[in-house]
Each structure stands twice: as C-alpha cells, then as structure tokens.
Amino acid sequence: MPHDLDRYHRQMLLPGFGEQGQQKLADATAFVVGCGALGTVIANMLARAGVGHLIIADRDFIELTNLQRQVLFDETDVRDGIPKAEAAKRKLATINSQVRVDAIVDDINHKNIEQLIRAGDTDIPDILIDGVDNFETRFLVNDVAVKHAIPYIYGGAVGTVGMSYAILPHAIPGATNTPPWQTAGAATPCLRCIFEQAPPPGMNPTCDTAGVLGPVVSIIANYQVNEALKVLTGNYDAVCPTMLSIDTWQNTYKQFKVRRAYDVAECPCCKQRSFEHLDGKWSSATTTLCGRNAVQLSQQPADPANRRKLDFDEIANRLKAHGQVTANKFMLRADIKDNGTDYELTLFTDGRAIVKGTKEPNTAKNIYAKYIGA
Amino acid sequence: MIYFDNAATSFPKAPGVGDAMADFLANHAANPGRAGHRMAVAAERMLDDTRLQLAKLFDAPDHNRVVFALNCTDALNMAIKGVLGAPVTDTATRDHVITTNLEHNSVSRPLQALADAQYVDLTRVDCDTEGIVDPAAIEAAITPATRMIVMTHASNVLGTVQDAAAVGAIARKHNVLFCLDAAQTAGALPVSIEKMHIDLLAFPGHKSLLGPTGTGGLYVGDRCPQPAQPDNPNTNVPTLRPWREGGTGGDSSTPTQPPLYPYFLEGGTPNTVGIAGLARALDYLADADPASAINHERAMIQLILDHLADNRRVTIYGPTGPDAATHRVGALSINIDGLEPSDAASILDDSFDIATRPGLHCAPYTHRRLNTYPSGTLRISPGPFTTNDDIDALLNALDQLTA
C-alpha cells in the first residue's frame, strides 16, 4: 500500500521534517527490543509517527500488573493471555494500518539476535530501540549496534528514575563507508565506552521488586522516540549527545556529558571491535535439571578471580513483598507467585539460580530478570 | 576447584596425556590404514599398540577384537544392538535379555528400546537395599530363550561392586552371552575377560583409565555371533550387526563391512589423537601398582563414610560401616535432609569450590529403588589424585551445610 502522508501533516510541518523526512520514516525499519512499559510506548509512538516497518521482540506474556504502564494492552489481552509482541502487533494494526509489524515471541540472546534483527526479510534495521529489563540484553544490543553500525537508543526506568542515551556508533577506524552521523560529527560513545561491564546480577532494583512509576517510563520512552525520529529523518546534529537521567518524583533532571568517553577509553567494543557479548562470553546459560521441573541459570562471573558475592539481605528485603523468603550464608530461597503461577527461586552467592516450577528456560530467565535483575 | 566428579570423567588425567595428544596432533596425525605412507603406517601402529596394551590389561586373548569406540555408551550400543538388533518376525524365537536396576541409561535405554520394538523380552533383576545384585537372582531369571546378560560391574550411583565373575560363570554354564559394562571399573579394578567369562566388555577411556574423553572400546569375544561372510551367506546363523558402517581402510572392495576385526565395527576415522592420549595413560597405569588407585579411592571413601556416619542430617546410600568402602569403587551417594541435591551441589560449587554431581546420574531405575527419584542424590566421587586436604575441605563444607 502506498503511504498516505496526509495523516502526518502536523508532523511534517515541523522544521527538519517535511515530506522528505516523512518519506524517510516510511522507508525505515525500527527494531524494538522488548515490549513492556518502554517498548509499548515506543512502538505506539513510532507507529503513529509513520515508521514503515517495526520489528517487536519480547518473550513475555501480558499480566494484570502490566496494565498500569504498558499502554498498548488492555484487560482483554490479560484474559486471553497472549504474548506481548503479538498483542502489540494486533493493537498497532488498528492504530496505523500503513505500518508493517513483525512480532517475535522469543528470548533474545547472543545466538539468535543477528537473525532476529533481519526479521521480515529486511536487511539490517535502521535503528535499535531499547525496551528491555536487563543489562545482559542491553550490552548484547550495544554489540550489534556497533558491529553493524546501527544507531541504538538506550533507555531504562525503575522506581521513579529513568535514563536514556542515543548511541550513534563510530565506524571501524579507517573504514571507507563512514556512517552519515559520523560524517555529520554526531557519532557518540557506545555503552561499553561508558560502562565497561554490565552490573552483576542482583545488584539493581527491578520494576517487580522496587516498583515503577508509569509517567517516568512514559517520559523516557517518548524521549527515546524523540531521538529516534531525529535519527531516522537524518537530523543527526539535533540528536542529544548527553546521557539523560531524571527522577520525576525528586524533581532532578540531569544531562551527563559522555562524549569524551570514546576518546579516553580503549573500548573493547567500538575500538577493538571485540564483540564479547555477541560472542556469548558473558551470557548466562540455562540447564533444565535432570528429572526436575526446574531450570538452572548460571551467570558468567565478570572476573572469576575476584568475584562479588550477592547481598542476600538486600535481595531478601526486595523480595519479601512477593512471598516467603529465607536465606543463610549459602543460599536464598524465595516463593514467588508470578502471573498466577508459583515458583520457588533458589539463589546462590555468585548469582546463579535454580527456578523451580518450570522446565522452560525462557520462563526461568524471565523470572530471574524480573525478581533478581540480570 | 576441588574435583569430586571422577565417576563422570576423571580429572586430572594421567601425567603426560595432554602432551601425548599435542605431540600426535602436531607430528603424526595421519589417517591410519588409509594409505601406505609412513605417517599413516605409524598411526595404524599406534592404534595397534594401544589395542595390545588394552588386551593385556583386560586379559583378552585376541587384541584384534579390541574395537575402539567413542565412549562406553558407544561400545554398549555396538554390543547390544550388534547381538540383539535384528528385527524379529516370529515372536516364538524372540530373545530374552537379563539386566539389573543398577544400570546406567547407556544400558537401560538401548535395551528398553529393543524391548519396546518387540525385538527382545527384557527382565530387570532387582538389587538389594545396599545396591548389590545377587548372582543367584540372575540365574533364577534365566529361561531357555535367554540370549544375553547385560550388567554393570559397579553402580555409577552407589559405587557398589557386583560379583561379575560369578555372573560370568552362570552365563557360561547356561550358554548365555555375558556383556559387562565396566564404565566405573576399567582401570580401577582387575577385569579379566578370561577369568570372568566376559563375552562383551565395554569400557570408557576417560574415567579410571585416565585418558581423554572421546575414547573407549568394546572387546568382542569369540562366543559372540560372528560377522556375516559376504561370500557365504548362511541366513540361518545369527550374525553380529555393525552399529556403524563406513570406511575402514584396508579392504574397500566388499559391499558391506569387511568381516574382519577390528575393522568390522570400526567404520570411520578413529579418534587417533584421543587414543594417543589413552596410550600414554595406559603406560602410566602399567607402571603403577595396579591396586594403588583403588586402594587410595577406597581409603578416601572410607574417610567420608566414617565422618558422616554420625551426622543425622545425612543419609548415605549403599554399604556403610568400618569396611564398607571395600564393597565400592570411588563413588558415594548421599542426601542432606532439607536440601535438594541440586541445591547442595550448587552451594558446594559456589561457596566452597567443590565439584560434585547431583541428580539421577543417568540411572533412573537405581533411584526408584533407593526412593530418591526424581531429585536423585548428591554423588561424591574421589579419584586417584584426590588428597587428604581435598577430603578435609569436603567434610568441612558438609559440616557447615548440615550445621
């Protein structure tokens, strides 16, 4: 179907946009990684703005506690128990039928991400937008962004705090096909220039343990879309070069200057072109336990010689709202009811865990990301 | 890491195994028997020498009947499907097979699959509460249709050693084939093909023989059915079926596997690099006192048994008491009250750097017998290189876990 541009009139009036900018959006593919609170807002706004092709990936199913902030879903979706990516696709079809949506219901990991970004017979997408709930996947997406020179809009929110930052990757030093944003002088440091490693599991609060304020997610997601629209219309010089950090409850709004991080860091990713997350060096492994309705998740310790032990007291504190938690110096055990199903989560000091109540690795990873934080 | 998982694979390997493999790979890695050049001949000779070493170790009359396999599972499949894998058209002539509930899945699964396909009738003889099978119970299960007894020499869950010589004598008396799974004993206990009346001996190279993974073998005795002779097909005589078929070097002219050992069962390029490592391990074992490894492992097991005897939170499976270790190889199963085996193993790994093995150990029938199905047990398996300090560290950890 040819794109009817009339509906985008108010957007095309904007400086730097016009019909040409709108056409660029229509021709663009955006990969939305994760379709929860951030992802639904992102997909919603991208579809309304007329981005021609969306690929939406999420392994999770919709539950009642999502509706507070995940704007594409409603009570019918909860009742039907459909996957988030699939529900988003259906809803977006009613919002803008001109947009093609490919839904991927799968865990995104180092083994499949390079196939998944090509979903729907596209070449590589024009942009990657972050709607995930864990740092393991973020660092993986960052590797893909740098390796294939795809802009990546990082975003994250938990509690009343949110962050966002647009990564416009630097090309391989000396490469002939310099990406347009670099020619425009707008390339930015990658995630690993700024944070060398993903934080170890269990160190950070999650939406499921610390709660989350709907508006802060919505603000961050819209900020991500804001930056994405600049990128997709070719307005690279307008892309914000700093990292935004906000707390909408404490009323703090900060912009961190990160540009120098590229110059000073010997970034393994964008300078040495070593894509360790994509190579699986830091990926967690899952094993379905012999004879048991249980899955073991093992983390690759960042530094085996000097590994950090989890703070069971702090984690027990976070989890106690969800069910009984017991801990000694060797392990922490928590009973968790998630979306109506009972799980028993056993956590060990190096971050590995055994999730009882499922044989599905994806379900176990989901429980871990939600309640421990990966 | 303190390693207590030797029943899965030994670690460390015999001194020099890695060097021997690296040297073979760097300097001699030709394909044996596939060409006449010197390197190929040397590779073939290395295989042949290793066969001789193994034949000597297992008291086998003909080293050409030592067939290399990828592991003990591969060898057992060769044996079980080789003898019993022919489709049965007349149920009146169906073979009967006896096995036990101490078996690893490498025995249980191929036999059960043959029984499910109605190629054989299967009897699974029960062990006693200590994990020992009474040879008389096996004899009692023999019928006129019994073709083969397949059993393990030692339980991989409990470490309990079975009276293979007695079962072998019974098999011989009743003209039944005897297939012994020596996964837990080859290299640890004396295994004599002659004295124990073994017709098919399956063994891994990577456990008590202290060689690398990817090695193992099967000895095929002359009482077993023989390969069909292509030039004299007598369809009334039961024949051995090759589990793998393919290139053998040597005689390439026959349309099917050449009926000559070891090539009949050795289709495909063998794991020469691994076998070079195994050969070095066999040299090491040949130079050592044959009883030293098992005596050491039993001493280690006895230390653990003695220490845990009074611990009320620990259940020990299999023989206990002052001389209990003499009934075992170096494997012991326990459970800790209130702690799943998988949790206990994770804690030992995470907090104490100790490697053990939780779960069913691929032996579901044994765990059903012990009432430990489906969580299984925590298996502790010391090896020839386990030290007293290792045992102290393990016992200290178990004390803390059960405090």
Mutation for A interface: B1, B349, B350, most A CBs within 10 A = B350
- Contact between A348 and B364 using a beta-carbon 8 Å cutoff: no
Q: Is A316 left (phi over 0), alpha (psi -120 to 50) or beta?
A: alpha
Choose among A292, A330, A331: nearest Cβ to B375. Answer: A292
Contact B7, B156 (CB under 8 A): yes
Handedness of CA B255, B258, B264, B266 (dihedral sign): negative
Give the pLDDT of chain B (403 residues) as one tens digit per residue.
999 999 999 999 999 999 999 999 999 888 887 778 888 888 999 999 999 999 999 999 999 999 999 999 999 999 999 999 988 878 888 999 999 999 999 999 999 999 999 999 999 999 999 999 999 999 999 999 999 999 999 999 999 999 999 999 999 999 999 999 999 999 999 999 999 999 999 999 999 999 999 999 999 999 998 887 766 656 666 788 998 899 887 778 888 888 889 999 999 999 999 999 999 999 999 999 999 999 999 999 999 999 999 999 999 999 999 999 999 999 999 999 999 999 999 999 999 999 999 999 999 999 999 999 999 999 999 999 999 999 999 999 999 999 9
Token digits for B216? 């193992």
Q: Which pLDDT band, with edges at 50, 70 and 90, does A299 fall under?
A: confident
DSSP string for B204-218: ESSSTT---TT-EEE
| Residue B313, min C-alpha distance to chain A (Å) | 17
What would the pLDDT profile of B181-211 be if each residue is shown by its tens digit? 999 999 999 999 999 999 999 999 999 999 9
pLDDT tens, residue by residue, A223-267: 999 999 999 999 999 999 999 999 999 999 999 999 999 999 899
Residues of A in contact with B374 (CB under 8 A): 291-292
Q: Is A207 a known active-site residue?
A: yes
pLDDT of residue B90: 83
3-class DSSP state of B256: coil
Asked if B351 lies within 8 A of A354 by C-beta distance, the reply is no
Distance from CA of B333 to the nearest CA of A (A): 16
The answer to whether the CB atoms of B374 and A292 lie below 8 A apart is: yes
Provide the mean pLDDT of chain A: 91
| Domains and their CATH numbers in chain A | 6-264 (3.40.50.720), 285-371 (3.30.310)
Contact B364 A291 (CB under 8 A): yes
- Bridge partners of B220? B200
pLDDT digits (tens, 9 = 90+) for A39-77: 999 999 999 999 999 999 999 999 899 999 999 999 999
Q: Which residues of B touch A352 (CB under 8 A)?
A: 346, 350
Contact A296 B346 (CB under 8 A): yes
- Among the partner-chain residues B342, B373, B376, the one whose CB lies closest to the CB of A354 is B342
- Cα–Cα dist A19/A8, whole Å: 9
**CB < 8 Å from A in window 321-340 of B:** 340
* pLDDT value, residue A161: 96
Closest partner residue to B359 (CB to CB) among A291, A330, A352 is: A291
How do beta strands B200-204 and B2-3 pair? unpaired
Among A30-34, A214-218, A286-290, name the one with the lowest average pLDDT: A286-290
Q: Is B346 on the interface with A (CB under 8 A)?
A: yes
User: Is the pLDDT at A153 greater than 50, yes or no?
Assistant: yes
Cβ-contact B401, B19 below 8 angstroms: no
Yes or no: say if B198 and B220 are a contact pair by the CB < 8 Å rule.
no
In chain A, the percentage of residues whose pLDDT exceeds 90 is 72
A interface with B, Cβ–Cβ < 8 A, is 289-292, 294, 296, 329-331, 346, 348-350, 352, 354
CA separation, residue A88 to residues A6, A32, A57, A127, B299 (Å): 24, 11, 10, 19, 64
Q: Cβ A289–B342 below 8 Å, yes or no?
A: yes
Residue-wise pLDDT for B307-362, tens only, equals: 999 999 999 999 999 999 999 999 999 999 999 999 999 999 999 999 999 999 99
- Residue of A207, A267, A269, A270 with catalytic role: A207
Question: How many helices (H) does chain B have, and how many strands (E)?
Answer: 11, 15
Write out chain B residues lying below 8 Å of A331, CB-based: 343, 346-347
So what's the pLDDT on residue B230? 66
Q: Does B347 touch chain A (CB under 8 A)?
A: yes
What is the set of domains in chain B, with CATH numbers?
2-9+290-401 (3.90.1150.10), 17-284 (3.40.640.10)
| Cβ separation B343–A346 shorter than 8 A | yes
- Residues A296-313, mean pLDDT to the nearest whole number: 74
CB A142, CB A197: distance < 8 Å: no
**Residues contacting A187, CB < 8 A, separation 6+:** A168, A169, A170, A171, A179, A181, A262
Indicate the pTM of the whole model: 0.87
Mean predicted confidence (pLDDT) in A106-135:
91
Q: What is the mean pLDDT of chain B?
A: 94
Instruction: Kindly identify which residue of chain B lies nearest to residue A330, measuring between CA atoms.
Output: B347
Q: What is the value of ipTM here, to two decimals? A: 0.81
Alpha-carbon distances, residue A35 vs A49, A58, A96, A157, B78 (angstroms): 18, 6, 18, 14, 51
Under an 8 A CB cutoff, do A294 and B343 touch? no
Q: What is the pLDDT of residue A2?
A: 47
Q: Which residue of A has its CA nearest to B361?
A: A290
What the block records as the tokens of B385 is 């290189």
User: If residue B297 lies in a helix (H) or strand (E), which one and from where to where?
Assistant: helix B292-308
CB atoms B376 and A296 under 8 Å: no
Q: Are A349 and B346 inside 8 Å of each other by CB?
A: no
Q: Confirm or reject contact between B134 and chain A (CB < 8 A).
A: no
Rounded to a whole number of angstroms, the distance from the CA of B271 to the nearest CA of chain A is 29
Task: With CB atoms and an 8 Å threshold, state whether B351 touches A329.
Answer: yes
Residues 6 or more apart in contact with residue B192 via CB below 8 angstroms: B58, B59, B198
| Interface contact B373, partner A, CB < 8 A | yes
Closest Cβ–Cβ partner in B347, B364, B374 for A348: B347
Choice between A288 and A12, residue whose per-residue pLDDT is larger: A12
Asked whether residue A1 carries a pLDDT value surpassing 60, the answer given is no
Residue to substitute from B105, B343, B346, interface A, most A β-carbons within 10 A: B346
* Lowest-pLDDT range of A42-46, A102-106, A335-339, B353-357: A335-339
B354, β-bridge pairs: B2
Contacts of B363 in chain A (CB under 8 A): none
Nearest to A108 by CA among A84, A86, A141: A141
Q: In chain B, which residues have their Cβ closer than 8 Å to the Cβ of A348? A: 346-347, 350-351
Higher-confidence residue of A180 and A198: namely: A180
Q: Which of A290, A291, A354 sits opposite B343 (nearest CB)?
A: A354
Q: What is the mean pLDDT of residues A334-346?
A: 92
3-class SS at A124?
coil
In chain B, residues with a C-beta closer than 8 Å to the C-beta of A329 are: 351
How close A213 comes to chain B (CA, Å)? 36
Given a cut of 60, whether residue A306 has pLDDT beyond it is no
